[in-house]
Amino acid sequence: MEINRRDILKFALMTPLVMTACKTVENTVAATKNGVIKPKRIVKGSTVGIIAPGTNVPDPDDISKAIEVLDYFGLKYKVAASLESGTGYKSRTPAERAQDFNNMFSDGEIDAVFCIRGGYGSSQILDLIDYESVQSHPKVFLGYSDITSMHTAIFKKTGLITFHGPVLLSQFTNYTLENFNRVFFEDDEYINLNNPSQKNGLREQFHIRTIQSGIATGRLLGGNLSLISSLSGTKYQPEFVGAIVYLEDVGEAPYRIDRMLNQLKMSSILDGINGIIFGKCEDCDAGTSQSTWDLSLGEVLDNYIKPLKVPSFYGLMIGHTSNQLTLPNGCLVEINADKGNVKLKESPFA
């Protein structure tokens, strides 16, 4: 093939452009290599969008209590359109609730999105969430319980770190308040998250039980067990390989905890995890099921968690507890199963 001087000159001029383009692609890949996006930190004066992705909260007294929390932290707020008005009482349509969420994430004046409560129904809006908008407008997103489905779907679809912590109608005890403030407002990357240190006589009031000794590192992923198990087999099924998994629930008899953990086992969802935390489970004793099921909650947890042979412990104050930790879902952490604590290995904020 004959190449003339003009072709050689053209190639010489194009080469730097090609190399620059390749370098840009390489840098883009490197920037998103771990697939994680971090929201900007909120500060006093930031504006919070208040939404109810599941059960609605139309009572103006409840909305007033939610605003009380934001006022305490010096945060401005904007109430979602369907929260105060809309079709239905506590069952706003999935389209309405999804629109509230999408509007808050696309609104340039909103810095964070807080859920006023959990309840039921967040899973109904997963197919209606604008994940591209979430990815291009990363913001702090906070909630727990039913909101677990959204934490899971958002991280899987976008890689955004979200926050499993109190909703705006939570009690906000001194312990909850202290840890909420540490995670969001104190500029300390390597925070240790622990149960309250308080004794009743010689016993720890907030007891931790080590299931499998050891220290492990991984991305913190999980939430409410009922919601995690309900996502099994769906396109939003969590991918826990290499993760530190945290689970919690409330008011579930041991046989129901067994059923949900068995579902995770049969779905292989927990295969390849690096560690596991099971939060303090309030009202999870046998109760009336004792006549047909004689295993305690501790025995059920041991039956499923010990065979995983990863550092694990029970009793961390997460989820449905009055004293509640705020956990950055998707953040790199280290757990010490003997001490029962979680240490952030990076800042959850950009």
Backbone angles phi, psi at 228, to 5 degrees: -60, -45
**How many domains, in total, are found in the chain?**
2
The β-bridge relationship of strands 199-200 and 192-193 is unpaired
Q: Is 195 helix (H, G, I), strand (E, B) or coil?
A: coil
Same domain, residue pair 68 and 208: no
Higher pLDDT, 35 or 156: 156
What's the CATH number where 182 sits?
Answer: 3.50.30.60
For helices 254-266 and 297-305, angle between their N-to-C axes, nearest 10 degrees: 10
Model confidence at 202, in pLDDT bands (50, 70, 90)?
A: confident
| pLDDT of 290 higher than 70 | no
pLDDT at residue 8 in the model: 44
Domain hosting residue 105, numbered range: 47-170
| Rounded Cα gap, residues 85 and 82, in angstroms | 5
On whether residue 21 sits in a domain, the answer given is no
On whether residue 2 sits in a domain, the answer given is no
Choose the catalytic residue: 82, 123, 151, 320: 320
Model confidence at 2, in pLDDT bands (50, 70, 90)?
A: very low
| Least confident stretch, 17-26, 108-117, 282-291 | 17-26
Known catalytic residue at 164: no
Final residue before a domain boundary, out of 118, 143, 170: 170
Same domain, residue pair 277 and 161: no
Choose the catalytic residue: 145, 170, 229, 312: 145
- For 16-30, the pLDDT digits (tens) are 443 444 433 333 322
Same domain, residue pair 61 and 93: yes
| Rounded Cα gap, residues 317 and 198, in angstroms | 13
Choose the catalytic residue: 82, 164, 248, 334: 248
On whether residue 14 sits in a domain, the answer given is no
Beta bridge partners of 313: 210, 277
Same domain, residue pair 81 and 182: no
Same domain, residue pair 246 and 148: no
On whether residue 214 sits in a domain, the answer given is yes
| Rounded Cα gap, residues 276 and 278, in angstroms | 7
What's the CATH number where 95 sits?
Answer: 3.40.50.10740
Same domain, residue pair 181 and 326: yes
- For 208-229, the pLDDT digits (tens) are 999 999 999 999 999 999 999 9
Final residue before a domain boundary, out of 170, 202, 220: 170
On whether residue 349 sits in a domain, the answer given is no
The β-bridge relationship of strands 140-143 and 162-164 is parallel
On whether residue 285 sits in a domain, the answer given is yes
Known catalytic residue at 320: yes
| Rounded Cα gap, residues 269 and 267, in angstroms | 5
